[in-house]
């Protein structure tokens, strides 16, 4: 299926690995010219070269922290200078970083009662402010050219909050991100610009692997046992792969998806039970 986006210019944040890299690869395979960014210059340049070699499309890697306003402005300016106005913007900034060897570093930066107040601001900057900053920089050109695609790579907790306390921060901040995309969708629809939220659920990424390692340490249970328990609760009985979510995101960025906007779409194997 030709998605009708050959030659379009895309920016994908968090593009050095996982779902971000898979999304950049899917867009490049459709003929998009892609700028990917992450905080590691070495990793992002290596990933860009790999994707370009695999797809034959132009892929540029540039380092940047998408929670920092100046970096967001620079990344978008780089895309415009190299390829032209941005048609597609995919926001993919992870929440609190997990370090299995560091005490209290799991989801939510520790237990609810001992969580530092600064953790809330950090999660807000990572998940909500970063998506707003990227949208702010690309939307004016999208409106002027009357075509654009905004997609945020979110989490299923935006629609169905997790019940275990360590997830208090994602539960708190992910839902407003979905609200931001819905607001974009409403305001930008008359200009041919769509905005959607692609909700991750049960996708086996490197970050997800780190989570299982952390949880095993935190609970004292074997990692494989925990993973098997969760997998058994997924109706499809398996974890998803980054490329499977990337395929949905690429479709949302396409000409064929021009009548889809303001949606939060789970890619989760059926594990979430909301309507």
Concatenated DSSP letters of 100-121: TTSTT-STTSS-GGG--HHHHH
Q: What are residue 62's DSSP bridge partners? A: 37
How is residue 98 annotated by DSSP? Answer: P
Indicate the domain borders of the chain. Answer: 9-203+241-267
When pLDDT is cut at 50, 70 and 90, the band that residue 109 belongs to is: very low
Higher pLDDT, 220 or 113: 220
Helix (H, G, I), strand (E, B) or coil at 250: helix
Q: What's the mean pLDDT in 143-148?
A: 98
Annotation: CATH topology of 9-203+241-267: Rossmann fold (3.40.50)
- Provide φ and ψ at 164, rounded to 5°: -85, 135
The structure's pTM equals: 0.89
In the predicted structure, residue 106 carries a pLDDT above the cut 50: no
When pLDDT is cut at 50, 70 and 90, the band that residue 68 belongs to is: very high
Higher pLDDT, 123 or 162: 123
Q: What contacts 121, CB < 8 A, 6 or more positions away? A: none
Question: What are the pLDDT digits (tens) for 16-39?
Answer: 999 999 999 999 999 999 999 999
Q: Report d(CA 60, CA 44) in Å as an integer.
A: 9
Helix (H, G, I), strand (E, B) or coil at 201: coil
Q: What's the mean pLDDT in 143-164?
A: 81
Q: Tell me which H or E stretch contains 141.
A: helix 130-145
- Provide φ and ψ at 236, rounded to 5°: -80, -5
Q: Report d(CA 66, CA 251) in Å as an integer.
A: 24
Average pLDDT in the chain:
87
What percent of the chain is predicted at pLDDT more than 70?
87
Helix (H, G, I), strand (E, B) or coil at 271: coil
When pLDDT is cut at 50, 70 and 90, the band that residue 157 belongs to is: low
């Amino acid at each position: 299926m030709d998605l009708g986006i050959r030659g379009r210019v895309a920016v994908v944040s968090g593009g050095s690995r996982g779902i971000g890299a898979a999304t950049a690869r899917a867009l490049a395979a459709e003929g998009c010219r892609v700028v990917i960014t992450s905080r590691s210059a070495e990793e992002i340049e290596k990933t860009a070269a790999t994707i370009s070699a695999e797809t034959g499309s132009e892929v540029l890697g540039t380092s940047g922290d998408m929670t920092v306003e100046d970096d967001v402005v620079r990344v978008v300016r780089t895309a415009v200078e190299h390829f032209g106005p941005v048609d597609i913007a995919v926001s993919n900034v992870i929440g609190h970083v997990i370090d299995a060897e560091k005490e209290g570093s799991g989801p939510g930066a520790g237990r609810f009662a001992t969580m530092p107040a600064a953790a809330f601001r950090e999660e807000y900057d990572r998940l909500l402010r970063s998506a707003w900053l990227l949208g702010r920089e690309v939307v004016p050109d999208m409106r002027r050219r009357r075509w654009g695609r905004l997609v945020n790579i979110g989490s299923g907790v935006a629609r169905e909050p997790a019940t275990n306390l360590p997830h208090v921060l994602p539960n708190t901040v992910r839902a407003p991100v979905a609200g931001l995309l819905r607001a974009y969708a409403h305001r930008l629809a008359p200009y041919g610009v769509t905005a959607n939220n692609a909700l991750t659920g049960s996708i086996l990424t490197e970050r997800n692997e780190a989570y299982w390692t952390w949880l095993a340490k935190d609970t004292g249970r074997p990692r494989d046992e925990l993973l098997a328990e969760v997998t058994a609760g997924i109706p499809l009985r398996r974890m998803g792969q980054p490329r499977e979510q990337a395929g949905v995101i690429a479709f949302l960025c396409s000409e064929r998806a021009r009548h889809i906007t303001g949606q939060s779409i789970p890619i989760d194997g059926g594990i979430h039970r909301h309507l």
